[in-house]
Amino acid sequence: MKLWLPLIAIAGLGLNALPAHAADDSWIVRFGAHVVDPKSDNGHLAGMKASVGSDLKPTASLEYKFTPNWGMDLLVAAPFSHSIRLNGTNVATTKQLPPVLGVNYHFMPDSDISPFIGVGVNYTRFFNTDSTGPLEGTKVRIDSSWGAAAHAGVDFRLNKQWIVTADVRWIDLASDVHVNGVKVGRATINPLAYGLSFGYTF
């Protein structure tokens, strides 16, 4: 429960400002690419050390700024693909979709260089998990995951409408793994998702 308190508090502060700043409404749509880079130690499955590979895919986000400083954004992406290794041997590949909904605070919204931070919630759905190598022929399933997310980045304004955004997100992501219906452990992935995008404001 304590994990969600900062998110609830920040979201509440931002939403409370909505009625007073309706005239300042604005939207930012961003298109770019992000790398999902799992942390180096992903735990143990069936007594063996697990590691999950990185992947780069196109992403898009939509942010609604209900005040000049506060915005709520949704990040979506093409499915990321990851290899799964046990003690260095490939045993499976999987795809996942990791939408993130969050609240951002922009420190200098009227500046040409505007840093921001944010918090949010992530839902990751794994699918099309295929076994290979020593596990070929078995059915591998990875449970979906809910978790908190942290966000930080910088907007670089090119002109009145166009911006470039560099950002990074940390995602609390851990999922149970099953082989032929039997739980073999829990993969703690906790990736960084970092990337670059072009944005259009309107």
Domain regions of the chain by residue span: 2-201
Its pTM stands at: 0.84
Handedness of CA 101, 105, 111, 112 (dihedral sign): negative
Q: What is the mean pLDDT of residues 6-13?
A: 46
Distance CA 28, CA 139 (A): 42
CA 35 to chain centre: 10
CATH of domain 2-201: 2.40.160.20
Pairing of strands 89-97, 100-106: unpaired
Q: What is the mean pLDDT of residues 24-52?
A: 92
Token digits of residue 94: 């999987």
Q: How confident is the model at residue 25 (pLDDT cuts 50, 70, 90)?
A: low
**Which is more confident, 3 or 197?**
197
